[in-house]
């Protein structure tokens, strides 16, 4: 079916079918984009009913909550969550007795709305979901032949006595299959596993005499890429393998945008289905942050013969954009769902017993997913590790008692974020909080006329000190949002005489880049500090300094100085949203939850905030909000899991 706009467009006010778009309810519940979509569809089919047009606007609205589709079999869930007016619910019910509009199809033709089983999609997202399902689907199926060579190499690199050692299981599964997901909480060994796995794959390849595997490593943000690069560099240096194998494993991690050849001013990438990436193995870290559109772009550009390995924490918040690919893939990961064949083959290959994770309801996808379950970063007594676990399992009572027990590494202010609390956090006891990096700026500043290297070292030290503490907020707006908290912190520091914030740009102002700037080599999520740095004439002037990765120098901590006026989209970052903090870690994080019920304060958000902390986590939230937040889950509607299960 090919839909052309009706030749006799009617003005919106004349079109009785669009009267509802003028109502207060429409303005409250729908975005301008959703209303514009309904108007566009009205112009495509003069016979489509008002009820169908409303349904289309509501479908478009679902994307704002991260849903990829609207399931007509369960639309009441969305109606409840989004508090649709009763009249709208009646309208949706009526559509089942009305003829389908011309702009709706089963996917054939170009109709902008697609019905697939009971799900309605905007075509773009239907296409993306199918691209992802196809790319994963063609990689399902594991070669379960035991081989002495594989047993030996896995045994040599994975020597943990723990049984089962899920890292070893993940390596075996990834060696024999073209698609693997390795999921796990912070410090569970995802990076360690993948580095050893790459060594096994590369050693096998080099031994076959057919030239090394082309391995590429990628992450969704510059920050995550830099962190993984540093971690892989560390792991490689101690990897007990032949130097030729070590030399053939890359450590440089690039952003997905760079991997795909993003170009300024266009959504199109240089690499796509007709011009695939030249690689044999692709590893994507922090995959929970990759939305469906980006995952579809990567998988479309992936050669069919390439091996794909996704790493990430399935319990973290997903991207703000629509879709939660990693979450969808890992829905059944806790219980394993392995087949007896997989379990027998693992026992023969690695000696690990995964029989308790065998299920009669095993599906092909489950055989490619491995969850690492032991944190090497947080031991069994660690307050942060225990709190993260309690939150993740929905145990609000235990989470509260851990916070109340003043466990090492945990602090809780039961109440709103008042001035006293904020002052204590920001000014810190014994030079912690934000005082630490401001002390570095003031105390360690090189003398006028010092060599540029001395200023670079000082800037690096200040950036590292700033990176040790971070205030996190659930939301951007309102009293507990990043905007207001940033303002209040600035006022506190100004009153202490630690900054002079009388102008927009001042020494010590930390900023967050909020849009990729390829010309400057800065990525969305990069954090910079405003410092007085020497210019070419030797005068000190305000510059924003960033730590960036420089592939030519093979380093991840190159200092880049930028004129404040050259920077485009940015904001102050004394406080950052939990969403923006993903892919980063800080010694101490302090999370401020909204004082009142909020749709964004979810279990996933709290878990993500807690796991950004390496050694100390502070929570500022009324007790009632803590319980509410742990009970509230993110749910994202999609058909990906069912598509891969073959149910669709």
Ligand X SMILES: Nc1ncnc2c1ncn2[C@@H]1O[C@H](COP(=O)(O)OP(=O)(O)OP(=O)(O)O)[C@@H](O)[C@H]1O
Binding positions for ligand X, rule: CB under 6 A: 160, 167, 184, 186-192, 231, 376-377
Nearer to ligand X, 13 or 376 (CB): 376
190 is in an annotated binding site: yes
Sheet holding 119-122, edge to edge: 69-71, 119-122, 113-116, 104-105
342 is in an annotated binding site: no
- Which tokens in the block code for residue 614? 């390496």
Nearer to ligand X, 66 or 187 (CB): 187
520 forms bridges with which residues in the sheet?
none
- How far apart, in whole angstroms, are the C-alpha atoms of residue 648 and residue 646? 5
Nearer to ligand X, 372 or 459 (CB): 372
- Which tokens in the block code for residue 410? 């945990």
Beta carbon of residue 587, minimum distance to ligand X (angstroms, whole number): 14
639 is in an annotated binding site: no
Beta carbon of residue 387, minimum distance to ligand X (angstroms, whole number): 16
- Tell whether the torsion through CA atoms of 445, 450, 452 and 454 is positive or negative: negative
Nearer to ligand X, 115 or 373 (CB): 373
- How far apart, in whole angstroms, are the C-alpha atoms of residue 563 and residue 560? 10
467 is in an annotated binding site: no
Q: In 3D, which of 374, 367, 309, 313 has the Cα closest to residue 337?
A: 367
Beta carbon of residue 313, minimum distance to ligand X (angstroms, whole number): 7
In the numeric block, the tokens 């993003």 are attached to 262
- The DSSP line for 484-549 is HHHHHHHHHHHHTTS--TTSSS-TT-EEEE-S-BTTTTB-TT-EEEEEEEE-TTS-EEEEEEEEEE
Nearer to ligand X, 238 or 502 (CB): 238
Strand 510-513 relative to strand 570-572: parallel, antiparallel, unpaired? Answer: antiparallel
Beta carbon of residue 186, minimum distance to ligand X (angstroms, whole number): 4
Beta carbon of residue 311, minimum distance to ligand X (angstroms, whole number): 7
Nearer to ligand X, 54 or 289 (CB): 289
Nearer to ligand X, 275 or 376 (CB): 376
187 is in an annotated binding site: yes
How many degrees, rounded to 5, is the angle at CA 177 between CA 172 and CA 178?
135
Q: How far apart are the first and last CA of the chain?
A: 22
State the virtual CA torsion across 152, 158, 159, 161 in degrees, nearest 10: -120
Beta carbon of residue 591, minimum distance to ligand X (angstroms, whole number): 18
Helix (H) or strand (E) holding 458: helix 452-466
- Which tokens in the block code for residue 388? 């993260």
In the numeric block, the tokens 């962190």 are attached to 227
- How far apart, in whole angstroms, are the C-alpha atoms of residue 372 and residue 170? 8
- Eight-state DSSP code of residue 107: S
Beta carbon of residue 180, minimum distance to ligand X (angstroms, whole number): 15
Nearer to ligand X, 215 or 287 (CB): 287
Beta carbon of residue 592, minimum distance to ligand X (angstroms, whole number): 23
Annotated binding-site positions: 184-191
Annotated binding-site positions for ATP: 184-191
């Amino acid at each position: 079916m090919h839909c052309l706009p009706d030749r006799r467009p009617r003005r919106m006010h004349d079109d009785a079918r669009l009267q509802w778009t003028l109502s207060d309810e429409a303005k409250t519940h729908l975005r301008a984009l959703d209303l514009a979509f309904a108007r566009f569809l009205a112009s495509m089919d003069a016979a489509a009913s008002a009820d169908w047009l409303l349904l289309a606007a509501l479908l478009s609205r679902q994307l704002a909550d991260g849903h990829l589709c609207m399931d007509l079999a369960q639309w009441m869930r969305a109606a409840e969550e989004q508090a649709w007016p009763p009249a709208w619910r009646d309208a949706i019910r009526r559509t089942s007795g009305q003829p389908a509009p011309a702009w709706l199809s089963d996917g054939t033709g170009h109709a902008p709305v697609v019905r697939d089983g009971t799900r309605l999609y905007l075509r773009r997202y239907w296409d993306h979901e199918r691209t992802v399902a196809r790319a994963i689907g063609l990689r399902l199926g594991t070669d379960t032949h035991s081989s002495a060579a594989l047993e030996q190499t896995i045994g040599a690199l994975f020597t943990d006595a723990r049984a089962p050692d899920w890292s070893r299981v993940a390596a075996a599964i990834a060696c024999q299959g073209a698609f693997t997901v390795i999921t796990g909480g912070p410090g569970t060994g995802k990076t360690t596993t993948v580095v050893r796995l790459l060594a096994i794959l590369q050693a096998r390849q080099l031994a076959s005499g057919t030239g090394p595997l082309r391995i590429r490593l990628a992450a969704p943000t510059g920050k995550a890429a830099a962190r993984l690069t540093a971690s892989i560099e560390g792991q490689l240096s101690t990897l007990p393998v032949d130097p030729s194998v070590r030399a053939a494993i890359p450590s440089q991690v690039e952003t997905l945008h760079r991997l795909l050849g993003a170009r300024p001013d266009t959504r199109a990438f240089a690499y796509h289905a007709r011009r695939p990436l030249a690689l044999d193995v692709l590893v994507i870290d922090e995959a929970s942050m990759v939305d469906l559109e980006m995952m579809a772009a990567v998988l479309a550009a992936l050669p069919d013969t390439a091996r794909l390995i996704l790493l990430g924490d399935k319990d973290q918040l997903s991207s703000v954009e629509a879709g939660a690919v990693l979450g969808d893939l890992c829905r059944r990961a806790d219980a394993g769902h392995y087949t007896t064949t997989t379990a027998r083959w693992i026992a023969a290959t690695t000696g690990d017993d995964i029989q308790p994770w065998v299920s009669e309801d095993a599906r092909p996808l489950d055989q490619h997913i491995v969850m690492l379950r032991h944190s090497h970063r947080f031991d069994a007594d660690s307050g942060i590790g225990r709190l993260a676990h309690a939150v993740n399992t929905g145990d609000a009572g235990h989470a509260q008692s851990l916070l109340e027990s003043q466990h090492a590494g945990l602090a809780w202010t039961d109440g709103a974020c008042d001035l006293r609390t904020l002052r204590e956090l920001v000014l810190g006891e014994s030079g912690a909080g934000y005082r630490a990096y401001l002390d570095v700026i003031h105390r360690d500043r090189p003398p006028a006329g010092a060599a540029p290297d001395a200023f670079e070292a000082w800037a690096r030290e200040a950036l590292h000190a700033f990176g040790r503490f971070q205030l996190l907020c659930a939301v951007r707006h309102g009293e507990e949002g990043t905007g207001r908290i940033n303002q209040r912190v600035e006022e506190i520091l100004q009153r202490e005489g630690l900054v002079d914030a009388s102008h927009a740009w001042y020494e010590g102002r930390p900023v967050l880049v909020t849009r990729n700037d390829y010309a400057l080599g800065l990525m969305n999520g990069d954090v910079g500090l405003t410092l007085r740095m020497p210019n070419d004439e030797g005068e000190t002037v305000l510059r924003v300094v960033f730590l960036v990765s420089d592939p030519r120098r093979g380093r991840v901590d190159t200092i880049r100085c930028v004129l404040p006026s050259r920077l485009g989209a940015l904001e102050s970052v004394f406080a950052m949203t939990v969403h923006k903090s993903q892919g980063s870690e800080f010694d101490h994080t302090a999370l401020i939850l909204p004082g009142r019920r909020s749709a964004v304060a979810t279990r996933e958000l709290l878990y993500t905030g807690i796991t950004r902390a390496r050694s100390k986590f502070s929570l500022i939230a009324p007790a009632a909000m803590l319980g509410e937040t742990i009970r509230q889950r993110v749910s994202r509607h999609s058909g990906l899991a069912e598509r891969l299960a073959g149910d669709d």
